[in-house]
Amino acid sequence: MAHHRRWRQALVRGTRLTLVAVGLAGCAAGPAHPGAARIVAGHDGGAPAIDAATAFALPGDYARRRLEASTAQADPKLPSVPGVRLGEFAGHRALLVDTADAKAAIALFGGHVLSFVPAGGRDLLWVSSASRPAPEPIRGGIPVIWPYFGREGQTADVPAHGLVRTLSWQVLEVRAEADGSVAIAMAPPALQGLPLALRMELRVGRVLEQRLVTRNTGAATVVFSQALHNYLRVGDADAVSVSGVDGLAYLDKNDDYRRDRQSGDWRLSDAPDPGRSDRIYRGGGGVYALDDPRLDRRIRLTVEGAGGLVIWNPGEAGAARAVDLRAMDWHGFVCVEPANLDVERVALAPGATHTLVQRLEEVGPLHERRGIEPPEPP
């Protein structure tokens, strides 16, 4: 594909950035998006510097919007769709979806998917029992990280992991599909001075499909990063593996963004820093699988429109420092997160859109796929 693209390079605060034209067929990272461009950042180690060209100012109405999220809000009016109702889940007002193929819960706070349970199976997602009430962010499920990841390229004036995960979202659409699935569209409120608009589209059926559609509403190109921060429920983080990353280059955030390359499947015991993980992988084929021998299942993650993948688990020491994690919680999840961040932020032209897509599904039982005896019941 390289000979089909036109490249423009810039040097920004010591980090080499490559602008890649998008809109060409055959890109493995996802569908074409007219007018968009990706920024592929070649990192030589050390945390990304703050760059005025990509830093977001705190919207003038952000504090008010966040305060509103902590107060009781009137329930949205929903169309009459079989299997969909408003209720409570994990302490949050949520859309509760019940289809023949799966159940799901989506919080109005943060547009946060809290649960996805395939018919006859167990929840694919994990939520902390120590998670704090709104407007504090929910620990677990699928946080929507947008329009920046962590504080990448940002000042300390903005909250970590973006502007929308601690706001009340609107329900735009709910409808039943011919295949028995349920489609839902939601969006955070528009924020003063932010030249981007976000729409999230969900489909709950045998597969959980989630789309983040970003549109540039301004007059200039905007650079942003994003992630779907999946907390995947596991029987024991020490026992699982993630495939689809063999041979990929990554940055190790736990080691001052040291560059390295993955050998084999990811495991929490991987050297040189066993027992915790915070790796940002570059590229990938867009299909990943988490194998969990304790829960006897495989969770498959299929991704479009993402240039990278984050695999995170805080380990014992990191969990002990978090106020919304209990001591042994780190055993119960592994975060596998499709992302456009340091390795591939998105530069979006005026009027253009970019779509990040993920599909989560259970494809177990694992012992049948491996031709081995099933595990003992817990």
Residues 6+ apart with CB under 8 A from 63: none
Residues in the chain, total: 378
**Per-residue pLDDT tens for 334-345?**
999 999 997 689
> What's the one-letter identity of residue 26?
G
Better-predicted residue by pLDDT, 70 or 88: 88
Do residues 75 and 93 lie in contact, with contact meaning Cβ atoms separated by under 8 Å?
A: yes
pLDDT of 22 over the 50 cut = no
Residue 3: what pLDDT? 34
Residues 6+ apart with CB under 8 A from 224: 54, 146, 147, 148, 196, 214, 340, 345, 346, 348
**Per-residue pLDDT tens for 290-327?**
999 999 999 999 999 999 999 999 999 999 999 999 99
Residue 31: what pLDDT? 36
Note the Cα 234 to chain centre separation in Å: 17
Q: Average per-residue pLDDT in the chain?
A: 87
pLDDT of 34 over the 50 cut = no
**Per-residue pLDDT tens for 244-280?**
999 999 999 999 999 999 999 999 999 888 999 999 9
pLDDT of 361 over the 50 cut = yes
Among the residue ranges 74-83, 240-249, 341-350, 369-378, the one predicted with the least confidence is: 369-378
Domain ranges of the chain: 2-44+80-370
Query: What is d(CA 129, CA 127) in angstroms, rounded to the nearest whole number?
Result: 6
Residues of the chain with pLDDT > 70: what percent?
Answer: 83
Q: Which CATH architecture has domain 2-44+80-370?
A: Distorted Sandwich (2.70)
